[in-house]
Amino acid sequence: MFDLISRYDDQILDAFWVTIQLTVLSAVGALILGTIVAALRVSPVPIARAVGTAYVTIFRNTPLTLIILFMSLGLYTTMGWHLAGEGPDSVAQNNFRYAIVGFSIYTGAFVCESLRSGINTVAMGQSEAGRSLGLTFTQNLRLIVLPQAFRSVIAPLGSVLIALTKNTTIASAIGVVEAAFLMAEINENEADVIVVGAIFALGFVILTLPTGLLFGWLAKRFEVAR
* CB environment 159-195: b (16+ within 10 A), e (fewer): ebbbebbebbbbbbbbebbbbbbbbebbeeeeeeeee
pLDDT of res. 162: 95
Determine the length of the chain.
226
Q: Measured between alpha carbons, how far is 16 from 196 in angstroms, rounded to an integer?
A: 14
Residues 6+ apart with CB under 8 A from 136: none
Domain residues of the chain, as ranges? 1-222
- Does pLDDT of 21 surpass 90? yes
pLDDT of res. 225: 54
Average pLDDT on 148-172 reads 92
What is the per-residue pLDDT across 37-65, written as a single tens digit (0 to 9) for each?
999 999 889 999 999 999 999 999 999 99
What is the per-residue pLDDT across 176-219, written as a single tens digit (0 to 9) for each?
888 888 888 888 877 678 888 888 899 999 999 999 999 999 98
Candidate from 12-26, 73-87, 192-206 with smallest mean pLDDT? 73-87
Q: Measured between alpha carbons, how far is 140 from 42 in angstroms, rounded to an integer?
A: 12
Q: Shortest CA distance to 96 belongs to which of 182, 14, 176, 11?
A: 176
Cα–chain center distance at 206: 18
What is the per-residue pLDDT across 91-141, written as a single tens digit (0 to 9) for each?
888 899 999 999 999 999 999 999 999 888 888 787 778 788 888 888 888
Say which DSSP state 153 is in.
T
Confidence of residue 226 (pLDDT cuts 50, 70, 90): low
* CA distances to 111, 147, 203, 212 from 12, in Å: 30, 39, 9, 23
Q: Find out whether 29 and 100 touch, Cβ atoms under 8 Å.
A: yes
CATH number for the domain formed by residue range(s) 1-222:
1.10.3720.10
